[in-house]
A = this chain, B = another copy of it.
């Protein structure tokens, strides 16, 4: 099934809205896509006819299994590109979205597979959102800033919220980057600084200020 850019955008938007509400309304989607409700209705007819979503007029719609599968693949492409832009080309995490929005529509399975491999199969994008793997599976986790992480809980760095030269320098010195696995060992009451374990190296102490700017994800307990 080959989709137009527009159809892909619709699927992705519905996918995101479905995280909140099981069934999505015309107006909600119109707002999400910055389009008029009438345009949404047009597209819903088309997509439901293609079997990508269930649509009952006046009652909203939600993705079919097929539609969801396609949506997840689009999300995968989007987040892989975000990771690429951030990690390889040095974009800051707040600049990646609009460009990834375009890159996600490039049609080439080989491109995405090779890119994934080249990036070393990252599991989270620069915003801390999970990247689905080739089969559509993605890590579930809880996102919070490092100063909120419970002690002795392993977590992966997914984003740094401040992009100043000074902070990046400090992070580089301490060998902390996206994907780095960390664990809080101790919190010192006096200045709320943290002693953390950084894999694979060793221990470091970081200030509360820094910790608040580092976001991590830890895996939900199974």
Interface residues of A (CB under 8 A from B): 85, 88-91, 95, 98-99, 102-103, 106-108, 110-111, 114-115, 118
Given contacts A88-B118, A118-B88, A106 and B110 within 8 Å (CB-CB): no
Q: Roughly how many angstroms separate A111 CA and B110 CA in the complex, as a whole number?
A: 21
Are A110 and B88 in contact, CB atoms less than 8 angstroms apart? no
Q: Roughly how many angstroms separate A206 CA and B106 CA in the complex, as a whole number?
A: 40
Q: Roughly how many angstroms separate A48 CA and B8 CA in the complex, as a whole number?
A: 33
Q: Roughly how many angstroms separate A114 CA and B85 CA in the complex, as a whole number?
A: 9
- CB nearest to A95 among chain B residues: B110
Q: Which residues of B contact A95 (CB under 8 A)?
A: 110
Q: Which residues of B contact A90 (CB under 8 A)?
A: 114, 118
- CB nearest to A99 among chain B residues: B108
Q: Given A89-B114, A99-B108, 19 more contacts at CB 8 Å? A: A85-B111, A88-B118, A89-B111, A89-B115, A89-B118, A90-B114, A90-B118, A91-B110, A91-B114, A95-B110, A98-B108, A99-B106, A99-B110, A99-B111, A102-B106, A102-B107, A102-B108, A103-B103, A103-B106
Q: Roughly how many angstroms separate A118 CA and B102 CA in the complex, as a whole number?
A: 20
Q: Which residues of B contact A103 (CB under 8 A)?
A: 103, 106
Please name the 6 residue pairs, one residue from A and one from B, whose CB atoms are nearest each other, closest first.
A89-B114, A102-B106, A99-B108, A99-B111, A89-B118, A103-B106
Q: Which residues of B contact A107 (CB under 8 A)?
A: 102
Q: Which residues of B contact A106 (CB under 8 A)?
A: 99, 102-103
Q: Which residues of B contact A98 (CB under 8 A)?
A: 108
Q: Which residues of B contact A88 (CB under 8 A)?
A: 118
- CB nearest to A105 among chain B residues: B102
- CB nearest to A89 among chain B residues: B114
Q: Roughly how many angstroms separate A143 CA and B4 CA in the complex, as a whole number?
A: 39
- CB nearest to A88 among chain B residues: B118
- CB nearest to A115 among chain B residues: B89
